[in-house]
Amino acid sequence: MLRTPLPDVASAVLPSHQASINWVGMDDISVPVYLNEPAGQQHSHANASIAVDLPGGEGAARGIHMSRLYFLLNELSQLELNPQSLEQCLTQVLATHKDLGTSAARIELQFDFLLKRPALITNSGGGWQRYPINLSAELVEGKPLSINLQLEFQYSSTCPCSAALVRESLAQNFLQQFNDEQAISPSQVAEWLKKNGTLATPHSQRSVALVSSQLPNQANALGLVKLIEQLESITKTPLQTSVKRADEQAFAELNGQNLMFVEDISRRLTEQLRPHYPSVAIQVRHLESLHAHNAFAQVLPSNTAVHPQPQFTHRGRQ
């Protein structure tokens, strides 16, 4: 049976002058992504957005080729996700929309990266940690590919103020008990500490850092594992997965040795990451255990002229 060509009203040319559209496309598309990081190959589910610009003017097209975007995104999902595959996909997007005068294309992917992290000191086998990723790639004709990577990293923070108050409380109670003693043996002090060391405790909280940076033009990989290991080294207190008592004790000691306000950790992250990621932006949030509200700090790239409001995307981690 012969089929006549089906009408394509989206490709119709509009007779009057039309305004340009910065971005038009599709979002909330479910696709698999394939990652090849040093920790091993991994598949993950991603929510994707893909879009192009639509020029206006006299005789502008009414709409874009939506299905072409979708099929190209499916082709990307069959490849290893890296700067090269993203540029290949966006180049094809521009080519398939050349008839519309399109000169810019963009892909955004949100997915979880799973990485197995070892226990602090025991051989418990460790466990899997989840790192939410937001990856956006943009290609404009005549310009190099631009890729921005945002990673969410969780750690523990102990308040320096509460730690100082605890030390003061312990010192006062110690003096009250031993004020009349001429000599105190180490064993007496140790026994007192066992009984009274938790007379007051500093407050700690689960904390979140959002680290975003533009990948270098010459990058051939996303570098997720490298960034995570750098964040673990800088914060000192990344959240743990599988722990035994010895691991929990070690974690408590790390918290006590690394007291931090949001101001402290935001500065530390910026100073140590910026040599490796010049365009890095930092947002940290301490989910307070003392207050009903939270504390946050934000450091923007040094060449940023505006000061936008912080955008936290914890996906239910409130």
**Mean pLDDT, to the nearest integer, of 203-219?**
92
Q: If you compute the radius of gyration of the chain from its CA atoms, what whole number of angstroms results?
A: 27
Token output for 153: 């990293």
| Residues ≥6 apart with Cβ < 8 Å to 154 | 206, 207, 208, 209, 238, 239, 317
Q: What is the pLDDT of residues 57-105, one digit of tens each?
A: 877 888 899 999 999 999 999 999 999 999 999 999 999 999 999 999 9
Cα–Cα distance, 121 to 16 (Å, whole number): 71
Which burial class, exposed, middle or buried, applies to 259 when counting CB atoms under 10 A from its CB (0-12, 13-18, 19+)? Answer: middle
Residue that the structure tokens 């975007």 belong to: 69
Q: Would the pLDDT of 310 be above 90?
A: no
> Coil, strand or helix: which one is 227?
helix
| Residues facing 157 on adjacent strands | 205
- Phi/psi for 86 (5° steps) reads -65, -45
Q: b or e along 228-256 (b: 16 or more beta carbons within 10 Å of the residue's beta carbon)?
A: bebbbebbebbbbbebeeebeebbeebbe
State what percent of residues in the chain have pLDDT above 90: 65
Q: How confident is the model at residue 316 (pLDDT cuts 50, 70, 90)?
A: very low
Q: What is the pLDDT of residues 1-21, one digit of tens each?
A: 667 776 666 666 666 678 899
94 with 103: CB under 8 angstroms? yes
Q: What is the pLDDT of residue 308?
A: 53
- Phi/psi for 182 (5° steps) reads -80, -35
Enter the pTM of the model: 0.86
Cα–Cα distance, 160 to 66 (Å, whole number): 54
Helices 224-235 and 262-273, interaxial angle, to 10°?
130
**Listing from the earlier edge strand, what are the strands of the sheet with 104-117?**
21-37, 40-54, 104-117, 127-140, 146-158, 204-214, 281-286, 295-299
Q: What is the pLDDT of residues 23-67, one digit of tens each?
A: 999 999 999 999 988 877 789 999 999 999 999 887 788 889 999
Q: What is the pLDDT of residues 168-198, one digit of tens each?
A: 888 888 888 888 777 888 888 888 788 877 7
More confident residue, 4 or 289: 289
Q: What is the pLDDT of residue 305?
A: 52
Average pLDDT for the chain? 89
> Coil, strand or helix: which one is 31?
strand
**Mean pLDDT, to the nearest integer, of 109-138?**
94
Q: Would the pLDDT of 150 be above 50?
A: yes
Q: What is the pLDDT of residue 175?
A: 83
236 with 252: CB under 8 angstroms? no
115 with 225: CB under 8 angstroms? yes
Which burial class, exposed, middle or buried, applies to 2 when counting CB atoms under 10 A from its CB (0-12, 13-18, 19+)? Answer: exposed
> Coil, strand or helix: which one is 106?
strand
Q: What is the pLDDT of residue 9?
A: 62
Q: What is the pLDDT of residue 269?
A: 97
Q: Which helix (H) or strand (E) holds 256?
A: helix 245-257
266 with 299: CB under 8 angstroms? yes
Q: Would the pLDDT of 108 be above 60?
A: yes
Q: How confident is the model at residue 264 (pLDDT cuts 50, 70, 90)?
A: very high
Cα–Cα distance, 247 to 234 (Å, whole number): 19
State what percent of residues in the chain have pLDDT above 70: 91
Cα–Cα distance, 300 to 296 (Å, whole number): 13
In the chain, the domains with their CATH numbers are: 20-159+202-299 (3.10.270.10)
